[in-house]
């Protein structure tokens, strides 16, 4: 049965309208995801400062085992300051982070430890597995002379460049890890994630990543940032100039 001319014309108009507004709708959703991602880092920043208020320093990147190997992550240490005291109380520090008991806590990852864009991407590419649900996109930038440097702790007074210039935590994609895993990134590794962000199909956000400064502020770091600039921004004594968003 043939459609009436006015019906066919209406369908064409509707199709054109959807085609015109769909990119805007998708763009609006990505703007919202970016805002949530940035807010996640701000929550982490607030928790880091609450930890600092209690202990006089930021947490170490990891707590070592008896042999000095990374055993427990700073992300676990922050749980009481992210309204996750109950979860923190269930975690056993006298066991490895991936012990049978601690592994039962994997699916209780705080929502602030996951970028909504990677959640969207996993679902879109049919890559969402139980393991992927335990991954965090937020890691410390850990290297010598940085706020996070292995088992060392750093106080605000030791950040000579000022907390508004020094980076402490970054959003990543290829280097995402199990949220309880005591693993983070070096500036070199973060550079690879920045370059990866230029690939539209797999990036969290296009052409950059969110980063957290030691003063709790978060911003979008451009993929055009050089390794030298990044190293200066991570260093306690970098004397850096700020790279624009």
C-alpha neighbours within 13 Å on the C-beta side of residue 28: 5
| 169 contact partners, CB below 8 Å, separation of at least 6 | 41, 44, 45, 48, 138, 139, 140, 141, 211, 212
Q: What is the pLDDT of residue 94?
A: 96
Residue 7 or 137, more confident = 137
Q: What is the pLDDT of residue 199?
A: 77
Q: Do residues 142 and 61 make contact, with C-beta atoms less than 8 angstroms apart?
A: yes
108-163: per-residue pLDDT in tens?
Answer: 999 999 998 765 454 444 555 566 788 999 999 999 999 999 999 999 999 998 99
Q: What is the pLDDT of residue 205?
A: 80
Q: Do residues 145 and 46 make contact, with C-beta atoms less than 8 angstroms apart?
A: no
- For residue 108, the SS3 value is helix
Q: What is the pLDDT of residue 200?
A: 62
Count of beta carbons in the 10 Å neighbourhood of residue 202:
13
Q: What is the pLDDT of residue 117?
A: 78
Task: Provide the token pair at 209.
Answer: 């990543």
Host H or E run for residue 212: strand 208-213
Q: Helix, strand, coil proportions of the chain in percent (round to 5)?
A: 45, 15, 40
Q: Do residues 185 and 231 make contact, with C-beta atoms less than 8 angstroms apart?
A: no
Which residue in 77, 58, 90 sits closest to 215, CA to CA? 58
């Amino acid at each position: 049965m043939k459609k009436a001319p006015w019906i066919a014309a209406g369908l064409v108009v509707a199709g054109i309208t959807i085609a015109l507004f769909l990119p805007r709708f998708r763009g609006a959703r990505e703007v919202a995801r970016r805002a949530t991602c940035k807010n996640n880092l701000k929550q982490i920043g607030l928790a880091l400062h609450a930890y600092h208020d209690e202990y006089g320093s930021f947490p170490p990147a990891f707590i070592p085992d008896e042999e000095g190997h990374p055993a427990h992550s700073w992300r676990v240490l922050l749980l009481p300051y992210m309204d996750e005291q109950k979860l923190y109380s269930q975690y056993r520090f006298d066991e490895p982070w991936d012990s049978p008991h601690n592994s039962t806590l994997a699916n209780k990852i705080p929502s602030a430890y996951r970028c909504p864009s990677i959640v969207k991407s996993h679902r879109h590419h049919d890559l969402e597995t139980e393991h992927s649900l335990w991954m965090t996109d937020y890691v410390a930038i850990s290297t010598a002379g940085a706020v996070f440097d292995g088992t060392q702790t750093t106080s605000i007074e030791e950040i000579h460049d000022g907390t508004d210039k020094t980076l402490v935590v970054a959003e990543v994609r290829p280097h995402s890890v199990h949220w309880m895993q005591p693993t983070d990134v070096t500036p070199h590794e973060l550079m690879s994630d920045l370059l990866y962000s230029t690939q539209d199909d797999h990036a969290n956000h296009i052409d950059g990543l969110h980063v957290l400064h030691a003063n709790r502020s978060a911003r979008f770091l451009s993929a055009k940032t050089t390794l030298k600039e990044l190293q200066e921004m991570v260093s306690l004594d970098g004397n850096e100039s700020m790279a624009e968003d």
